């Protein structure tokens, strides 16, 4: 299939280019990035030089006339809304890594993103691209909304327990750590080496945009606090929920995770608490859980690579399912060590 990657010069876009090069059914025909239009991929990202020796970036507008079957969009929030309606009207399948089509209610965008949605008529058409929870809905989908990295890690850790109603859907707490690539490529004061190195910082307190996405996906009210840590990749979630069943213990929690993910290629249930580094370089998500019977709290944990299972890899996995390919096609199932 002929593929275009929009926003290909950012971290998620470059990861799309890297992973798509391994997909046997893909030809990347167009890669866009306004600030680097005319510049070769090899010059912008030498790590990809052997994969794309001749491909150069074009302006974003070029995607609207490109002869492609599918467009992967890795743009800042709000930008996808400018292009998706026209692409969908042309019959191009769209996989959007941004937040523009993740929420079904346009009012959520007004409240949490502080702007009106410009294509609300497409919200019902979009399918949430978390394969492990929406595999059936994704089959044949023409507009895929790829989940954010925090919602992915949170939903895979907590979802099985909320789905079975063994924990309360109120008072849920999610604490998360993420590497700096999750903040994107644009420089900022808090990403300076002198501030970041040896540091850790909470941000988006109380009103982080991913809060509403997590709530809608798992059906629970929660307090979400993300933290920036001085590593380039990786994400670690530790979440807490009140246990409703008196005899539900750590063994029960682990059995539930193993049962839920027994047939999922990219979710690994581990006995020990997952580390931030274990999944880096892969499309894997590691999950584990404990129940503190003394206090009555479930502790659910997960880790993933925020640029792969949290972005580009997840996008390809969801598109694979929508297109009838094996969902693991072109995706790494092992991390890098050390």
Contacts for 334-338: CB closer than 8 Å, 24+ residues apart: 334/281, 334/282, 334/284, 335/277, 335/278, 335/279, 335/280, 335/281, 335/282, 335/284, 335/305, 336/280, 336/281, 336/282
Query: Quick one: tokens of 190?
Result: 């808090």
Query: Quick one: tokens of 115?
Result: 């702007």
Separation between Cα atoms, residue 18 and residue 9, nearest integer Å: 12
Residue with tokens 């492609």: 68
User: At 304, is the secondary structure helix, strand, or coil?
Assistant: strand
Would residue 4 be called left, alpha or beta, if left means φ above 0 and alpha means ψ between -120 and 50 degrees? beta
- Give me the phi and psi of 107, to 5 degrees please: -65, -25
Q: Distance of CA 66 to CAs 3, 29, 61, 86, 236, Å?
A: 9, 8, 9, 12, 38
Separation between Cα atoms, residue 215 and residue 232, nearest integer Å: 27
Report which of 312, 335, 320 is spatially closest to residue 96, judged by C-alpha positions.
Answer: 312
Separation between Cα atoms, residue 176 and residue 190, nearest integer Å: 18
Catalytic, out of 17, 149, 166, 298: 149
Catalytic status, residue 285: no
Active site residues: 149
């Amino acid at each position: 299939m002929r593929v275009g990657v929009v926003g290909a010069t950012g971290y998620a876009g470059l990861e799309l280019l890297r992973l798509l090069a391994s997909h046997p059914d893909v030809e990347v025909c167009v890669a866009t990035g306004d600030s680097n239009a005319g510049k070769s991929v090899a010059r912008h990202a030498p790590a990809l030089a052997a994969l794309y020796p001749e491909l150069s970036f074009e302006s974003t507008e070029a995607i609207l006339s490109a002869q492609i079957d599918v467009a992967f969009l890795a743009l800042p929030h709000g930008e996808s809304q400018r292009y998706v309606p026209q692409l969908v009207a042309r019959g191009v399948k769209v996989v959007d890594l941004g937040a523009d089509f993740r929420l079904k209610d346009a009012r959520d965008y007004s409240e949490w993103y502080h702007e009106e949605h410009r294509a609300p008529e497409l919200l019902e058409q979009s399918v949430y691209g978390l394969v492990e929870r929406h595999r059936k809905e994704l089959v044949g989908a023409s507009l895929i909304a790829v989940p954010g990295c925090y919602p992915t890690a949170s939903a895979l850790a907590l979802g099985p327990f909320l789905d079975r109603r063994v924990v309360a859907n109120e008072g849920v707490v999610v604490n998360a750590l993420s590497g700096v690539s999750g903040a994107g490529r644009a420089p900022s004061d808090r990403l300076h080496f002198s501030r970041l190195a040896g540091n850790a910082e909470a941000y988006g307190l109380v009103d982080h945009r991913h809060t509403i996405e997590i709530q809608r996906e798992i059906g629970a009210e929660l307090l979400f606090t993300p933290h920036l840590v001085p590593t380039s990749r990786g994400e670690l979630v530790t979440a807490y929920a009140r246990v409703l069943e008196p005899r539900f213990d750590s063994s029960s929690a682990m059995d539930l995770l193993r049962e839920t993910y027994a047939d999922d290629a990219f979710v690994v249930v581990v006995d020990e608490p997952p580390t931030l580094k274990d999944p880096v370089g892969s499309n894997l998500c590691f999950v584990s859980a404990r129940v503190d019977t003394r206090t009555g709290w479930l502790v659910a944990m997960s880790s993933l690579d925020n640029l792969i299972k949290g972005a580009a890899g997840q996008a390809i996995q969801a598109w694979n399912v929508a297109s009838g390919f094996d969902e693991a096609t072109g995706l790494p199932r092992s991390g890098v060590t050390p």
